[in-house]
Structure 1
Amino acid sequence: MLVVDLDGEPLAPLRALEEILLCLGTWEDDDRRDPGTDTEPLRLPAPLADRVALGAVQRLLTALAPTQSRGPGCGRLLAPDGRYEHAPMTALTLTAADTDLLAATAAALGHPGLDPDIGELVDAYAEQLAGGYRRADRTELVSLLARLAGLLDLSPTDDTHLITARLRATPPGTDCVLNYAEEAAHARTADRMNHMWAHGSGIDRYLY
């Protein structure tokens, strides 16, 4: 699959999710070690239970981190004749199971019947994610995670195959100069990514 460098934007919700899932794993462990006699044991819905979602999120973070905020020595993605620079893209191999788990995790956290304590935990990390500049809640974090899952599961097309082949044929750390057909494929793919991640707006500066 193709991953575009969005200057680290996709990593923030993933890291917030990792912290949430680490907390839930600790709650599970504490409840198993010392079950309360007057309280119901914690029952996390799939895939939150037993650190299943946590493992997938950590694998995705490990794979995605090197593709974001890439330095100048990583090679540029250039228009034909080097006329201007596009946002870098990386051809990456991810397991379908992990992207499916990310989507299922977003759905579980956004479920209206989610345990109120878990909901408060998610709200707290969503507020931190906003950075104090705007209000954020569970709905916004869940939306970001669901959109990221869609971005990572973008259906392959002739365009993505063409770009992927070009990127894989370019030695690491060197500039990749697209030809006109490849640049057209890049533009169409960027449109799809833009629609998925930002509903058609907000990241044009990264993709064009």
Structure 2
Amino acid sequence: MTEQPAGHPGRGDAAPAGQCTVLVVDLDGEPLAPMRALEEILLCLGTWEDDDRRHPGADTEPLRLPAPLADRVALAAVQRLLGALAPTQSREPWRGRLLAPDGRYEHAPMTALTLPSADIDLLCATAAALGDAALNPEIADLVSTFAEQLGSGCRSGGRTELVSLLARLAGLLDLSPTDDTRLLITRLRTTPLGTDCVLSDAEEAAHARTADRMNDLWAHGSGIDRYLY
């Protein structure tokens, strides 16, 4: 997992085999909370699974986790994604700002991040598994418990809202590449760390279109102003 905000371009525009380069917006840590809740859920499931294997009960059925929850497969992917995403959130100004043409105003920072494609697929599959209506009731209760411990944005929706946040994050990470995203990735890769990135008019237009797409996924189209401050 490679962060490429500055001065260290990858080999051309292509990511290594099995990986993809995506744009990640600094949302002041919003995507990290559901991911950390998911990590705790998967750690608990892994412990339950281990306990059943070490101490099988004669009169109880062992816990059977659906893919990709079983065997800590999803947990490993989530931990890799968390490790990659955390540095992109709540970035310090010394790392460089993302500015509109002529520095008229500041955008929320963006990072070009190279991630394993399989991990993004696993995040999507994990969200689907946890949202399945036929999910084991014990697992559903566990998910609901951690969902209620999140901030106010998730309390009202419980498990449903947590699953929705995870699915929307997977959608952001799986955003289809376009000429706009490729233009922005190239610019971010070639901007030295600690240097402000002042977008050209063409890059600003690409940013606006890309931010609109991201808003549709993450914020239900609440408006591009979400990415300006």
TM-score (ref. length: structure 2): 0.88
Higher share in helix: 1
Cα distance in 2, alignment partners of residues 99 and 149 from structure 1: 6
Give runs of aligned pairs for residues 1-208 of structure 1, distance below 5 A: 1-131=22-152, 134-201=155-222, 204-207=225-228
CA contact (8 A) 2:98 2:198 kept: yes
Cα distance in 2, alignment partners of residues 206 and 163 from structure 1: 15
* Helix, strand or coil at the partner of 1:40: coil
In 2 relative to 1, CA 202–28 (structure 1 residues): closer, same or farther, beyond 3 Å? Answer: farther
CA contact (8 A) 1:108 1:114 kept: yes
Q: Which runs of no fewer than 5 residues in structure 1 stay unpaired?
A: none
CA contact (8 A) 2:154 2:162 kept: no
CA contact (8 A) 1:194 1:204 kept: no
**What CA deviation, in whole Å up to 9, does each residue of 1:29-84 have, x standing for no partner?**
00100011110011000000000000000000000000000011110001111111
State, as a whole percentage, how many aligned pairs show the same letter.
Answer: 81
Matching residue's letter, 1:108: A
Cα distance in 2, alignment partners of residues 133 and 33 from structure 1: 35
**What CA deviation, in whole Å up to 9, does each residue of 1:16-41 have, x standing for no partner?**
00000000000000010001111001
CA contact (8 A) 2:211 2:227 kept: no
CA contact (8 A) 2:106 2:228 kept: no
Cα distance in 2, alignment partners of residues 132 and 151 from structure 1: 19
Instruction: Kindly tell me the number of residue pairs found equivalent between the two proteins.
Output: 208
- Comparing 161-170 with 127-136, which one deviates more in the overlay? 127-136
**What CA deviation, in whole Å up to 9, does each residue of 1:125-146 have, x standing for no partner?**
0000134994231111000000
Q: Which runs of no fewer than 5 residues in structure 2 stay unpaired?
A: 1-21
TM-score (ref. length: structure 1): 0.96
Q: CA RMSD in A?
A: 1.5
CA contact (8 A) 1:47 1:105 kept: yes
